[in-house]
Amino acid sequence: MQTETLEPKYTAKDFATDQDVRWCPGCGDYSILKQMQSTMAEAGIDKKDIVFVSGIGCSSRFPYYMDTYGIHSIHGRATAMASGLKASRPDLSVWIITGDGDSLSIGGNHLIHLLRRNFNVNILLFNNEIYGLTKGQYSPTSPKGQVTKSTPMGSLDHPFNPQALALGADATFVARTMDRDPKHMRDVLKIANDHQGTSLVEIYQNCNVFNDGAFEVYTDKASKAETTIMVEEGQPLIFGQERDKGIRLNGMKPEIVSLKDCSADELWIHDSSDRMKATILSRMFDNNALEGGLPRPFGVFYQEDRFRYEEAMQAQVEQAISIKGEGDLDKLIRGGHYWTV
């Protein structure tokens, strides 16, 4: 029997707003916006039930360009704002749009607490390794030694590794993708949307004005095959122009092997439910542009089913009602001991 679906059908265009998009021409944000609009169209969630929450920064303009509900909040606090929204409105599909400065510097505290609480929300972390809106200072993900306006002699900060940080905070979903690979991004966004819990998707995003080419070694066709590895569930970790190299785990240590000397069975098989392996993946963080080394992994590193804060919170409300009954205001006001004059 054929049933007519009641889900509203959208196209990506239905998610565009009447506002002019004001990112710099050539900015990686355009690509993310486009994939997000497509993802939402495919997801089929009613527009009225979607909220985009952002902080401050170039990426945080994002909600203005999505025809859903949206709040462009204050610097670093989108995560906190979204926590209260989701806690009080578990029915909504909540998306947090943030950048490396917004989420890892000024909002670092809220990010780790959101991850451990595991609200069922999605975080898109636009990582461009620079402060764009304030015109070019180094960010908490900029590599040490980076010369920027605020670091003419090179940055002294050891950078954050967002994937390792998220896993350290017991995130239940961590993934990495990039602006220059729309298909990969869309696939990752879809899995993130399906994940029940907080999904952190780090997106390498090129700032062509203040930090052009920061990720070129991973996005450029000439080098990409050698410097990146796309992890896929249940598949061996294989990479290389000729797809002739793989990653094998020697104990806890990942090492590059040639497929000529090593059969595919011996390779590391990606298992996103394995926290230890995900941690090792997150630590494959060599600076390929300078030193080469292990390829940089992309894809869903880790996924775990753990209780959602907002569900547990709602359950406590319901439990309280089942034990004490629906709140009686007069009883509350009167309290346990009262007397009549």
Partner 1 sequence: MTKTTEKKKDVTILFAGDSGDGMQLTGSLFTNTNALYGNDISTFPDFPAEIRAPQGTVAGVSGFKLHFASIDIFTPGDEVEVIVAMNAAALKANIGQLRMGGTVIANTAGFDKKNLRLAKYDDEANPLLDQTLDKFRVIEIDVTKMTKEALINSGLGTKEIDRCKNMFVLGFLLWMYNRSLETTQKFIGEKFAKNDSIREANLNALKAGYYFGDTNETFTSRYEVESAHLPKGEYRSIMGNQAAAIGAIAAAKKAGLNLFYGSYPITPASDILHELARHKNFGVKTFQAEDEIAAICAAIGASYGGSLGVTASSGPGIALKGEAIGLAIMLEIPLLIINVQRGGPSTGLPTKTEQSDLMQAMYGRNGEAPLAIVAASSPSDCFEAIYEAARITVEHMTPVIFLSDGFIANGSEPWKFPKSSELTPINARFANKEKSMKDGTFYPYKRNSDLVREWAIPGTEGLTHRVGGLEKENETGNVSYDPANHELMVNIRQEKVDLIAHDIPNQEMTQGETSGKVLVLGWGSTYGAIRTAVRELIGDGHSVSHAHIRYLNPFPKNLGDLLSAFDTIVVPEINNGQLVHIINAKYGVGAIGVNKIQGLPYTAREIKERILELM
Q: Residues interacting with partner 1, by CB under 8 A?
A: 17, 19, 47-51, 53, 63-64, 66-74, 77, 80-89, 91-92, 109-110, 113, 313, 316-317, 319-321, 323-327, 329-330, 332-335, 337-341
| Smallest gap from residue 339 Cβ to partner 1 (A) | 5
Please calculate the CA angle 19-25-31 and round it to the nearest 5 degrees: 75
| Smallest gap from residue 71 Cβ to partner 1 (A) | 6
Question: Nearer to partner 1 by C-beta: 30 or 69?
Answer: 69
| Smallest gap from residue 240 Cβ to partner 1 (A) | 44
Question: Nearer to partner 1 by C-beta: 71 or 249?
Answer: 71
Main-chain phi, psi angles of 35, to 5 degrees: -70, -35
The answer for residues whose C-beta is within 8 angstroms of residue 110's C-beta and 6 or more apart is: 76, 77, 79, 80, 83
Please calculate the CA angle 167-212-203 and round it to the nearest 5 degrees: 25
| Smallest gap from residue 61 Cβ to partner 1 (A) | 9
Burial class of residue 318 (count of CB atoms within 10 Å of its CB; 0-12, 13-18, 19+): exposed
Q: Which token pair is 328?
A: 């009686």
Sign of the Cα pseudo-torsion (43, 171, 202, 237, in order): negative
| Smallest gap from residue 318 Cβ to partner 1 (A) | 9
Q: Name beta bridge partners: 98.
A: 125
Question: Nearer to partner 1 by C-beta: 261 or 326?
Answer: 326
CA distance 182 to 28: 11
Question: Nearer to partner 1 by C-beta: 66 or 188?
Answer: 66
Question: Nearer to partner 1 by C-beta: 83 or 206?
Answer: 83
Question: Nearer to partner 1 by C-beta: 291 or 326?
Answer: 326
| Smallest gap from residue 55 Cβ to partner 1 (A) | 10
Q: Which token pair is 170?
A: 């017991």
